[in-house]
Amino acid sequence: MIWKEMEDFVRIFDTTLRDGEQCPGAAMSEDEKVEIALHLAKMNVDIIEAGFPVSSPVQFAAVSRIAREVEGPVICALARSLRADLESARDALKEAKRKRIHTFIASSPIHMKHKLGKTPAEVLEMAREAVKMARGFVEDVEFSPEDATRSEWEFLRELVEAVIQEGATTINIPDTVGYTTPQEYFELFQFLKTKVKGADKVIFSAHCHNDLGLAVANSLATVLAGGRQIECTVNGIGERAGNTAMEEVVMALRTRRDRFGVETKIDSSLITRASYLVKTITGMVVQPNKAIVGANAFAHESGIHQDGVIKNRQTYEIMTPESVGLKSNRMVLGRHSGRAGFKDRIIRLGFDPKPEELDNAYQRFLEIADKKKEVFDEDISALFQSETRRTQVDGTFELVSFEQATGSNKTPTSRLTLKVSKETKSAEATGDGPVDSIFKSIDKITGIYPLLSRLVISPVTEGTDAMAEASVTVEYEGKRVVGKGDSTDIIEACAKAYIDALNRL
Ligand code: KIV
Ligand code: ZN
C-alpha cells in the first residue's frame, strides 16, 4: 500500500556534519562546518544534524555556531538517552530559531547485552525518560532505536509506541550496520506504521549505512511504505562504507516521481557545488563513476552514445547535467578576458563574491590564463573556492617560489622560499621524490614536522595543461587538518596544499 501523508513530501535530514564527519579523515573545522551548513540551507535541506555536542567542546562550539548563524532549516543535535547529553544538546541549540534534539539508544539484543549491559525493560525506560526530558527542552524530538534492523520487531513496536506517548515527533529507524534489504526495510516500516499506536502522529525516517551498497535503495524503499524523512550525507560520506548519498535520493525521487509519487524540496541545481564543497573540505575524493556527482556521471564516451546524445539528449540521459548544477565547461575564458567578464562568469557560476575575493581570484585567474590557453568553468570554480578558502585562514606561511632538480638518475632536490609572517626564508632539501623533497624543505623552514596521512591529487579538467587540485591531510600534536592547493603544476599544488594545512594547524 502507498501511504498518503497530509504534507506529502520527503524531508531531507542531512547528517554530513555528524555521521559524515564520523568517518576517518573527514574531521572539519568550525568554519568549514558553518560553510557547509550555509550551503545546505541554501539548498533547502529540511533538517541539518550539526553534531553531537556532548562528545567534545569542539563539537559543542560548532553546533552552537550553526544554531546561531544558519537560518531556514531545523538545526538538530544528537544526544544519547542520558541527562548530560540531552542538556548539552539543549544548550548548544539555545540560539537556533528552529531546533530538534535527536536522542537514541540501542535496541538490538546484541547491542543491549554487549554494549549497554542493559535489559530490554531498562532500555525502554531510559528511552521514555530521555524523550520526556528532551520534550521538556524543545518541541521537536526525534528518537532512534539504534541497530533497529537487527532488533526484534515486537520489542521495536513497544519501544516506538512508548516514545511516541512521551512526545517524540519523528521516529528514525536506523540500519546502523548496513544489514537490511529494500524488501525487509519496507516491511519493517509497514509493520511499524500499522501496528504502533500513535504512528499516524509522527514522521517515520530512514537512516541507512552502505555496508552492502544498499543504503540508497533501502532508503527509497521506505518512501513506498510511508516514510517521509531520509537521513543522508553529501557524497554519501560516513562511517565505514558511508551513509545514504543525499544527491542520489533527491535525484531518484525527482526522476522517478512516477513510481514514488513524492519528492523533496531540495534545489537540485546546488548539488554539484555541495559535492565539491564537501570533497574539498574533507579531502574525501569522489569516485569518477559515482552516481550524480562523479566526474563521469554525465560524460558520454562511446561513439554510439555520443551520436545518440547529439541527436536527442534523452537517448542516453535520464537527467540533465544542468538539473544538478553541472554547467557546460565549454565556455572558455582566456588571458584577454577582462575583469568584468570574469566577474560575470563567477556570478553565473552561482557565487556571490565579495570585492576582495574577486580581486584575489582575478589575479589567480590571470596567472593561470598565462599558463593555460583556455580556462574552463571548472577551473574558475576551483580557483575561486580555493581563494575564498585561503582568505579564511590567517596565512603565517606563504609560498614565494621554488625550484626543483629531479630525474631518473638524480636525487630529487628542492629549493624553496616561503614568506613567514613578514620575513622571507629559504631552504633546500632532498627527498625520495619531488613531493617528499619539497615537503621536507617546507618543514626545514617552519620547524613543524607533521605526519602526512593522505595526499590526493586530482585534475580539475582534462588535458596535460589541466589545473590540478591537491588535498593534503596532516596530523600534528593530536590535531588533524586538511589543506588544499591548486596549480597547473602538480608539485606547486602539493606545496600549496601542505602550506595551507600548516597554516590551519
Ligand atoms: O547509524 C546509527 O544508528 C546512527 C544513530 C545515532 C542514528 O547514526
Ligand atoms: Zn548512522
Residue 497 has pLDDT above 60, yes or no: yes
Please state the atom number of ligand 1 nearest to the C-alpha of residue 19.
8
- What's the CA-to-centroid distance between 19 and ligand 2, angstroms? 6
Position 2 scores a pLDDT of: 42
Same domain, 133 and 206: yes
Element (H, E) at 203: strand 203-208
What is the distance of C-alpha 452 from the center of its chain?
Answer: 22
- Is the CB–ligand 1 distance for residue 104 below 6 Å? yes
* Protein residue whose Cα sits closest to atom 2 of ligand 1: 176
* Protein residue whose Cα sits closest to atom 1 of ligand 1: 176
- Is the CB–ligand 1 distance for residue 19 below 6 Å? yes
Position 439 scores a pLDDT of: 96
Band of residue 7 on the pLDDT scale cut at 50, 70, 90: low
What does the pLDDT look like over 351-372, one tens digit per residue? 888 888 888 889 888 888 888 7
| Best residue for ligand 1 mutational test, from 115, 146, 163, 229 (most atoms within 8 Å of Cβ) | 146
Position 376 scores a pLDDT of: 81
Give the number of whichever ligand sits closest to the CA of residue 105. Answer: 1
More confident residue, 468 or 178: 178
Band of residue 387 on the pLDDT scale cut at 50, 70, 90: confident
Residue 331 has pLDDT above 70, yes or no: no
Of 391, 426, 442, which residue constitutes the final position of a domain? 391
Q: Cell match 552514445: residue?
A: 305
Same domain, 444 and 455: yes
- Is the CB–ligand 1 distance for residue 207 below 6 Å? yes
Same domain, 227 and 322: no
Same domain, 133 and 256: yes
Residue 454 has pLDDT above 60, yes or no: yes
Residue 291 within a domain: no
- Is the CB–ligand 1 distance for residue 144 below 6 Å? yes
Residue 6 has pLDDT above 60, yes or no: no
Same domain, 371 and 452: no
CA 371 – CA 365 distance, rounded (Å): 10
Same domain, 67 and 106: yes
Position 300 scores a pLDDT of: 67
Kindly state the percentage of the chain with pLDDT values over 90. Answer: 67
- Is the CB–ligand 1 distance for residue 15 below 6 Å? no
Can you name the residues that pair with 94 across neighbouring β-strands? Answer: none
Residue 112 within a domain: yes
Q: For 200-214, 377-391, 439-453, which range has the lowest pLDDT when averaged over its residues?
A: 377-391
Give the residue among 40, 470, 487 at the shortest CA–CA distance from 235: 40
Of 371, 391, 411, which residue constitutes the final position of a domain? 391
Same domain, 174 and 311: no
If you average pLDDT over residues 452-458, what whole number do you get?
Answer: 86
Residue 140 within a domain: yes
Give the residue among 191, 193, 233 at the shortest CA–CA distance from 215: 233
Q: For 294-308, 339-353, 401-415, 458-472, which range has the lowest pLDDT when averaged over its residues?
A: 294-308
Residue 22 within a domain: yes
Q: Cell match 526522476: residue?
A: 255
Same domain, 268 and 314: no
If you average pLDDT over residues 81-108, what whole number do you get?
Answer: 98
Residue 117 within a domain: yes
Same domain, 195 and 317: no
Q: Domains in the chain: how many in total?
A: 4
Residue 266 has pLDDT above 50, yes or no: yes
- Residue 390, amino acid: R
If you average pLDDT over residues 425-434, what whole number do you get?
Answer: 95
CA 355 – CA 21 distance, rounded (Å): 32
> Residue 17 is part of a domain; what is its CATH number?
3.20.20.70
CA 465 – CA 485 distance, rounded (Å): 16
Give the number of whichever ligand sits closest to the CA of residue 145. Answer: 1
Band of residue 341 on the pLDDT scale cut at 50, 70, 90: confident
Residue 5 within a domain: no
Of 339, 373, 391, which residue constitutes the final position of a domain? 391
Same domain, 377 and 307: no
Residue 396 has pLDDT above 90, yes or no: no
What is the distance of C-alpha 340 from the center of its chain?
Answer: 33
Band of residue 189 on the pLDDT scale cut at 50, 70, 90: very high
Kindly state the percentage of the chain with pLDDT values over 70. Answer: 95
* Protein residue whose Cα sits closest to atom 3 of ligand 1: 176
Band of residue 79 on the pLDDT scale cut at 50, 70, 90: very high
User: HSE on the CB side for 211, CA within 13 Å?
Assistant: 12
Same domain, 343 and 323: no
Q: Cell match 552502505: residue?
A: 210
- Is the CB–ligand 1 distance for residue 298 below 6 Å? no
Same domain, 153 and 192: yes
CA 394 – CA 3 distance, rounded (Å): 53
Domain with 137, as residue range(s), is 10-282
What does the pLDDT look like over 16-59, one tens digit per residue? 999 999 887 777 889 999 999 999 999 999 999 999 999 999 99
Residue 172 has pLDDT above 60, yes or no: yes
More confident residue, 501 or 395: 501
- Is the CB–ligand 1 distance for residue 174 below 6 Å? yes
pTM of the model: 0.83
Position 302 scores a pLDDT of: 66
Band of residue 459 on the pLDDT scale cut at 50, 70, 90: confident
Residue 178 within a domain: yes
- What's the CA-to-centroid distance between 159 and ligand 1, angstroms? 16
Residue 1 within a domain: no
